[in-house]
Homo-oligomer: A and B are copies of this chain.
Amino acid sequence: MASGERPLPFVSEDNLALCTDLYQLTMAAGYFENRLDQVATFELFVRTLPPHRAFLVAAGLEQALQYIERLRFNNDAIDYLRRHDVFTHMSDEFFDYLKGFRFTGDVHAMPEGTVFFSNEPVLRVTAPVIEAQVVETYLLTTINFQTLVATKAARVVQAAQGRLVADFGTRRAHGPLAGLWAARASYIGGCTSTSNVLAGAMFGIPVVGTAAHSWTMAFDTEEEAYRRYHDVFPDSTVLLIDTYDTIEGARRAARLDFPIRGVRLDSGDLAALSREVRKILDDAGKRDVKIIASGDLNEYKIAELLAKDAPIDLFGVGTEMVTSKDAPALGGVYKLVEQRSGNKVAYKMKASEDKATYPSAKQVFRQADANGMFVRDVLTTADDAQKGAALIEPAVEEGKRSSPPLPLDVIRDRAQEQIACLGDRFRALAPRDAYPVEVSDRLRKLTRRTREELGIQD
């Protein structure tokens, strides 16, 4: 039963290894005790895209690779496992193995920022089966979440048609680490900045922010709040004008005898208010003052605001983006596709009625037309060659990263370029068609043969 909590509020490098599902460790013990040391290949992919999505934006690989490199079972972790009911009868040998545990295998993956589709492996792990197994949970939660948010952000940014989008979501994210990673993923998806300071310090993302309602309310009058803010930040004064009455707030801002950079609206009918506020500012000669809008925005509301010609320059998007509110989970799975013992290769697939998989390590080739617009992807075996660009690259070789981390701007640029190559048909907020992902003859034949070998009925 649960006793007092250990005063350690975080997932840290010290306790990475336990941040997994118990069955990964019972399976690890099972493989160990049965002396099973085959090399297994697992692939991480998404069977069905979330509603209204025709594409996904790969994100989270960097954090996944950092995990793989650092994964260790420290003494606390091993002590905990030794005491757990299910392991009490286990020999010291297994725990000694855990003490020396390192990930020694290979990882192949689509680079972050790659656009991908259902059934395409975004990551592949080839390693001794225990190593390949214990990393499953962390890889899934990391890549599922960042991909989910990068994809949602891409939708929001599409809807904003070139206006800037900032991430304001940490307070409604699923905890502080989710807020941090959502800032990273939404930048990959096309946002230009975040309010999360740690995301600036860790990832180099531009960080923005000015004042909240509590600032206005801390002073006797709204005008005093405006003036005092400007005293401290004369070059970056953005005023929140909706604390009491947005139009009155705008008139006060328009009358100020010092320069301001922008005003923010955080409530009410943003289309009507932004037009009124724009007119008040313009009439006062403050044409350069930007209008920032926030308050439960999402891609649909932004599209509607722009359809109504709302003169908004920057959208601050929070809750809906960082939780991917209309589709808050990505169903990425991590499945065994082949295993090797010595020279013997066995292809693997699961065949339960609603969850079938394709066997063998795979590659994805992307074919484009003369203008570079994506035409189709071909899913095939890893040793096959098809027309087009191969999307899956080495990321870790024998436990070492193949290359240093990519600058986040390179990742973000890749995503923007690839989304542009999708065309409106797949980029729309409500796409009608699925992007064509064809299965090669070679993979099709291998699948048929594997079903027969495993005795799976059609």
Complex contacts, A13 vs chain B, CB 8 Å: 9-10, 12
A160 within 8 A of B: no
Give the size range of A's interface with the partner: 35 or more
With both chains docked as a complex, state the minimum distance between the C-beta of A329 and any C-beta of chain B, in angstroms: 5
**In this complex, what residue of B is CB-closest to A353?**
B268
A218 cross-chain contacts in B, Cβ below 8 A: 31, 36, 38, 40, 129, 336, 339, 348
Q: Assess the B30–A233 pair: CB atoms within 8 A.
A: yes
Once the chains are docked, how many angstroms separate the CA of A23 from the CA of B232? 13
A85, A148, A208, A323, most chain B CB atoms within 10 A: A323
Q: Are A18 and B331 in contact (CB under 8 A)?
A: no
CB of A162 closer than 8 Å to a CB of B: no
CA distance in complex: A47, B38 (Å): 55
Instruction: List A343-394 residues whose CB lies under 8 Å from chain B.
Output: 348-355
Encode A1-40 as 1/0 by CB contact (under 8 A) with B: 1111111111111010011111111110111011010101
A210 sits at the interface (CB 8 A): yes
Contact: A352 with B319, CB < 8 Å?
no
A236 to B87, CA, bound (A): 10
Identity of the chain B residue whose Cβ is nearest the Cβ of A320 in the assembled complex: B329
A9 / chain B contacts, CB cutoff of 8 Å? 13, 63, 66-67
**What chain B residues lie within 8 Å of A23 (beta carbons)?**
195, 209-212
| A73–chain B nearest beta-carbon distance, Å | 11
Q: Does A76 contact B (CB under 8 A)?
A: yes
Contact A268 B176 (CB under 8 A): no
Whether B325 contacts A211 by the Cβ 8 Å rule is no
Are B245 and A352 in touch, CB under 8 angstroms? yes
Interface stretch of the complex, out of A199-207, A422-430, A440-448: A199-207
Assess the A176–B177 pair: CB atoms within 8 A.
yes
Interface string of A227-258 (1 = CB under 8 A from B): 01101110110000011111000000000000
Contact with B along A408-442 (1 / 0, CB 8 A): 11001000000000000000000000000000000
Determine if A335 is an interface residue (Cβ-Cβ < 8 Å): yes
A52 interface contact, C-beta 8 A: no
Query: Are B352 and A177 neighbours in the complex by a CB distance under 8 Å?
Result: no
A454 interface residue (CB < 8 Å to B) = yes
Is A140 an interface residue when CB atoms closer than 8 A count as contact?
yes
Contacts of A151 in B (CB 8 A): none
**What is the bound-complex CA distance between A229 and B352, given in angstroms?**
21
B170 pairs with A456, CB closer than 8 A: no
Q: Is A407 an interface residue (CB 8 A)?
A: yes
Choose the segment among A113-121, A131-139, A305-313 that binds chain B (4+ C-beta atoms closer than 8 Å): A131-139
Q: Separation in Å of the A393 CB from the closest CB of chain B?
A: 18
Q: Which residues of B contact A454 (CB under 8 A)?
A: 244
- Selected contact of A197 from candidates B2, B22, B133, CB within 8 Å: B22
Contact at A198–B268, with CB atoms within 8 Å? no
Are A201 and B11 also in contact (CB < 8 A) when A30-B215, A267-B355, A355-B267 are? no
9 CB-based A-B contacts, threshold 8 Å:
A5-B408, A22-B196, A26-B210, A27-B212, A30-B211, A34-B232, A81-B197, A172-B329, A218-B339
With A243-B352, A323-B329 already in contact, 5 other A-B pairs whose C-beta atoms are closer than 8 Å: A21-B196, A26-B233, A89-B235, A174-B323, A213-B336
A residues with a Cβ closer than 8 A to B are 1-13, 15, 18-27, 29-31, 33-34, 36, 38, 40, 42, 62-63, 66-67, 76-77, 80-81, 84-86, 89, 129, 133, 136-138, 140-142, 144-145, 148, 168, 170-182, 187, 195-198, 200-215, 217-218, 228-229, 231-233, 235-236, 242-246, 266-268, 319-320, 323-325, 328-332, 335-336, 339, 348-355, 404-405, 407-409, 412, 454-457
